[in-house]
Amino acid sequence: MPRYPRPSPTAGGLTDRVYSALAARAASSPGPVHPLHVGDTWRSPPPGALAGPTGEEGRSRPFGYAPVQGEPALLGAVRERLRALHGLDLDPEALQIAPGATTGLAVVISTLLAPAEELLLPSPFWPLIRGMTAARGSAAVEVPFYTRLDEPGFDPEAALERAVGPRTAALYVNDPHNPTGRVLPPAAADAIARVARRHDLWVVVDAAYDELVYGPTRRPFWLREDLADRAVVVHTLSKTWALAGARVGFVHGPREVMAAVRGVHVNLAYCAPRPMQHVAVRALETGATWLEETRRLYADAGRAAARAVGMAPPEAGTFLFLDVAPHLRPGEGLDGFLERCLDAGVLVTPGLACGRDYGSWVRICFTAVPPAELEDALGRLERVLGRAG
């Protein structure tokens, strides 16, 4: 039967208000509103990133189509970065430049999941992964996970195992984690790897915050040897290098599946923007000192935010995830709490965007505004939480 004028069932449930339903109201607010709901940064990119295109082709045709796989200069810079950080000698054919991690993840989901197959989704999770899975016509199977890792008796392997079914094709892992700010503990990482291997699952790794870890240096989850044949990893320059608007990321994985990733990528996105790929090259080549300062500033901001809301500081990333159930007024739901936050001048993300089991939680981005504005925002949030002295 014709469906006009309705959209497809896979698109009908999606919304552009994932991070806040109050953004339009916030835009008309008479006072300042601090946007702590979207994972952005107040930092400008490394100064060297804006120096202009690299290579003769980039200078002569800066706005032409880039090669489908990516600009050679950026492919080389990414491979060198992975070699310097992790000793990884990445096969050149196992790498794809993408228009940001969001597109990269959508391409990977479309490559690894067929319609009606299932993605195992430990929660809470990055909000857009559920929607892009639905857009594929696949199902996201949510498993409360990261917020339970410290619970006595919680068995991460058993929790994942119970969620595996005959249609499960892949497992999504975001490490370091958005929204909790955690680094995946070794026991949980081992559990994920065992479940993936036992059931022949692909592992989709979202490594957006890979270089924003504030504690001791650690070996990334995606470098596990027991996942080398099945982990497809997505990175972005948005978070580490303050290049969110540039829309540049990259994907790597087993050579054989990366050929399929490249085929899907060319049909969904063709190429990442050429001018921004050259910006990315400059960031990777010149930004070491800038990145060291950025980590320090972000760690300071994370500690300040954690003190304000009464929780442990984040280990990584740019978020805190807070259960506000103790701070709800009698008869008040989360919508009422979010409106009180807005009235106080702060936007935060509802926890339900990160999983159906988080109806009393909120996500707070502590890097979205400069330190002085963050201090003001946290003071306002403390008053909403009843923590102000």
For residue 255, give the CATH number of its domain: 3.40.640.10
Amino acid code (one letter) for 105:
L
Token reading at 89:
């000698």
Token reading at 70:
């990516």
Confidence band of 1 (pLDDT split at 50, 70, 90): low
Dihedral sign from CA coordinates of 291, 294, 296, 299: negative
Last residue of a domain, one of 286, 317, 339: 286
- Name the residue range of residue 310's domain: 9-44+289-385
Q: Which of 313, 310, 314, 306 is nearest to 326 (CA)?
A: 310
Confidence band of 51 (pLDDT split at 50, 70, 90): confident
- The CA distances from residue 142 to 15, 116, 155, in Å, are 19, 15, 16
One domain, residues 247 and 312: no
One domain, residues 275 and 147: yes
Token reading at 20:
């806040």
**Domain total for the chain?**
2
At residue 52, the pLDDT reads 62
State pLDDT tens for residues 334-360: 999 999 999 999 999 999 999 999 999
Please compute the mean of the pLDDT values over residues 326-335 and round it to a whole number: 96
Please compute the mean of the pLDDT values over residues 206-222 and round it to a whole number: 94
Residue matched to tokens 């085929």: 263
Residue 126 has pLDDT above 80, yes or no: yes
For residue 102, report the phi and psi dihedrals to the nearest 5 degrees. Answer: -60, -50
One domain, residues 93 and 218: yes
Please compute the mean of the pLDDT values over residues 223-234 and round it to a whole number: 97
Number of CB atoms found within 10 A of residue 225's CB: 7
Spatial neighbors of 248 by CB under 8 A, at least 6 apart, are 74, 97, 98, 99, 100, 236, 237, 238, 272, 273, 276, 277, 279, 280
Token reading at 28:
């008309």
At residue 23, the pLDDT reads 82
Reported pTM: 0.95
**What letter would DSSP give residue 224?**
-
* Residue spans of beta strands (DSSP E) within the chain: 34-35, 95-98, 118-123, 139-144, 168-174, 202-206, 231-236, 249-252, 319-323, 346-347, 349-350, 361-365
Residue 384 has pLDDT above 70, yes or no: yes
At residue 92, the pLDDT reads 97
Last residue of a domain, one of 234, 256, 286: 286
Order of strands, sheet of 249-252, starting from the edge strand that comes earlier in the sequence: 95-98, 249-252, 231-236, 202-206, 168-174, 118-123, 139-144
One domain, residues 152 and 98: yes
Beta bridge partners of 172: 204
Residue 323 has pLDDT above 80, yes or no: yes
Amino acid code (one letter) for 174:
N
**Residue 49, domain member (yes or no):** no
Residue pair 196/227 in contact by the 8 Å Cβ criterion: yes
- The CA distances from residue 57 to 53, 120, 280, 292, in Å, are 9, 43, 16, 32
State pLDDT tens for residues 137-176: 999 999 999 999 999 999 999 999 999 999 999 999 999 9
For the ranges 10-24, 308-322, 331-345, the lowest mean pLDDT is seen at 10-24
One domain, residues 247 and 334: no
Order of strands, sheet of 361-365, starting from the edge strand that comes earlier in the sequence: 319-323, 361-365, 349-350
